[in-house]
């Protein structure tokens, strides 16, 4: 990934504001504002705006401070594909539970599965009457830093590579500012709606959250090395599915890469159209070292290329990015971007 300026990070935030990245944090904001509106129905227009603004300010502050800390930590800290996959599945589980609750379809036993904050934190968020504390939206906005998003993760990885507190804070802070207009519009609209219309908006948000949760389950399983293609999201959602090699096509040795000094020379190129990796189904031989060259760089989750089943992870920061590995066993190994959204299959004979 090339150097990212404040302006480019701001633009990325504006783009993310119209993508699936906003669905989780936006859904959280919808839920919070909706509950506050139900409990505090007499809130003035200015009070509703203040509630939403505090959520956004908490988000910007969190992204700036934690982005700086990530930059300070440098390359000594990063998530493995397995860890990212596990976190993605946990987030998907929470989204499913929360989505069902917003649709009023969640049974009592499932409601108990939603993680609850400790009492000392609950007292900070809710007052004695169970109404939202004035600082509740600030804390919830700050927590959105940990929600899964391809744009966010790619910038977090970039912040790691800079080994700079200032750069990390600047990039992630600018990104959060860029997502603010969409959040402000969403929060104001949901807070301004009353009665049946407001409930309809929350239910619609619940359906959208469930839809995206299914995509996160698929992505998480991909990162864990067990891909299941049971959903193909629309282009606007940010999820793209590259189907594995058709079993009926098979593979043959004419697809094998050239061998130089005993090393297989495998090449992949990033493309801007499906299947986004060319070729999408390369073939190599087990037991022989492979020199992998990925040509091209990209933003979002495609700034990282990985093969979880083979322990391969490569940051695509240059025009040509190279790594080496040796597949031990024959089989089909899914490769993907950092969030499992774009993928293909490596066939090992």
Q: Which of 137-141, 188-192, 283-287, 291-295 has the lowest mean pLDDT?
A: 188-192
What would the pLDDT profile of 307-346 be if each residue is shown by its tens digit? Answer: 888 888 887 777 788 888 988 889 888 888 876 778 888 8
Going by pLDDT thresholds of 50, 70 and 90, the confidence category of residue 44 is low
User: Cβ atoms within 10 A of the Cβ of 298, count?
Assistant: 18
Work out the burial of residue 209: count CB atoms within 10 Å of its CB; fewer than 13 is exposed, 13-18 middle, 19 or more buried.
buried
- pLDDT of 182 > 70? The answer is yes
Spell out the domain ranges in the chain. 6-235, 242-348
Q: Which of 10-19, 36-45, 94-103, 331-340 has the lowest mean pLDDT?
A: 36-45
pLDDT mean across residues, the chain? 71
Whole-model pTM: value is: 0.53
Residue with tokens 């169970």: 130
What would the pLDDT profile of 77-135 be if each residue is shown by its tens digit? Answer: 556 677 777 777 776 776 677 677 767 776 766 656 555 545 554 455 444 444 555 66
Task: Give the pLDDT confidence score for residue 340 in this predicted structure.
Answer: 72
DSSP 3-state of 173: helix
Mean pLDDT of 243-263: 62
State the Cα torsion 33-35-41-42 to the nearest 10°. Answer: -50
Contacts of 200 (CB under 8 A, 6+ apart): none
- pLDDT of 64 > 90? The answer is yes
Mean pLDDT of 290-301: 78
Mean pLDDT of 213-226: 76
Q: Give the residue from 16, 55, 64 showing the smallest Cα distance to 173.
A: 64
Q: How far apart are CA 240 and CA 259, in angstroms?
A: 32
Q: Which of 227-231, 247-251, 325-329 has the highest mean pLDDT?
A: 325-329
Fold of 242-348: Immunoglobulin-like (2.60.40)
Going by pLDDT thresholds of 50, 70 and 90, the confidence category of residue 32 is low
Going by pLDDT thresholds of 50, 70 and 90, the confidence category of residue 65 is very high
Task: Give the pLDDT confidence score for residue 233 in this predicted structure.
Answer: 38
């Amino acid at each position: 990934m090339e150097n990212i300026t404040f302006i480019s990070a701001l633009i990325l935030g504006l783009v993310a504001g119209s993508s699936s990245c906003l669905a989780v944090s936006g859904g959280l904001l919808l839920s919070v504002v909706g509950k506050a509106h139900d409990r505090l129905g007499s809130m003035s227009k200015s009070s509703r705006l203040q509630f939403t603004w505090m959520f956004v300010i908490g988000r910007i502050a969190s992204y700036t401070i934690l982005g700086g800390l990530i930059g300070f930590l440098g390359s000594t800290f990063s998530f493995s594909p397995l860890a990212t996959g596990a976190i993605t599945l946990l987030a998907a589980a929470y989204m499913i539970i929360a989505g069902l609750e917003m649709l009023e379809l969640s049974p009592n036993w499932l409601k108990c599965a939603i993680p609850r904050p400790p009492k000392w934190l609950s007292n900070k968020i809710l007052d004695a009457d169970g109404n939202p504390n004035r600082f509740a939206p600030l804390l919830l906005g700050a927590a959105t830093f940990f929600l899964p998003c391809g744009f966010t993760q790619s910038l977090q990885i970039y912040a790691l590579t800079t080994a700079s507190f200032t750069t990390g804070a600047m990039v992630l802070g600018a990104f959060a500012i860029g997502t603010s207009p969409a959040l402000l519009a969403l929060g104001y609209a949901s807070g301004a709606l009353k009665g049946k219309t407001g409930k309809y908006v929350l239910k619609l948000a619940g359906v959208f959250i469930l839809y995206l949760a299914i995509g996160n389950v698929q992505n998480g399983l991909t990162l864990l090395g067990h891909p299941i293609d049971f959903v193909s999201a629309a282009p606007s959602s940010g999820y793209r599915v590259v189907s594995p090699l058709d079993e009926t096509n098979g593979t043959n040795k004419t697809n094998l890469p050239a061998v130089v000094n005993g090393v297989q020379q495998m090449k992949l190129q990033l493309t801007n159209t499906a299947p986004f990796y060319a070729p999408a189904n390369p073939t190599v031989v087990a037991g022989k070292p492979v020199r992998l060259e990925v040509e091209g760089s990209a933003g979002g989750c495609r700034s990282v290329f990985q093969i979880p089943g083979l322990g391969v992870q490569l940051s695509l920061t240059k025009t040509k990015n190279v790594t080496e590995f040796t597949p031990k066993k024959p089989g089909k190994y899914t490769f993907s971007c950092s969030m499992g959204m774009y993928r293909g299959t490596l066939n090992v004979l």
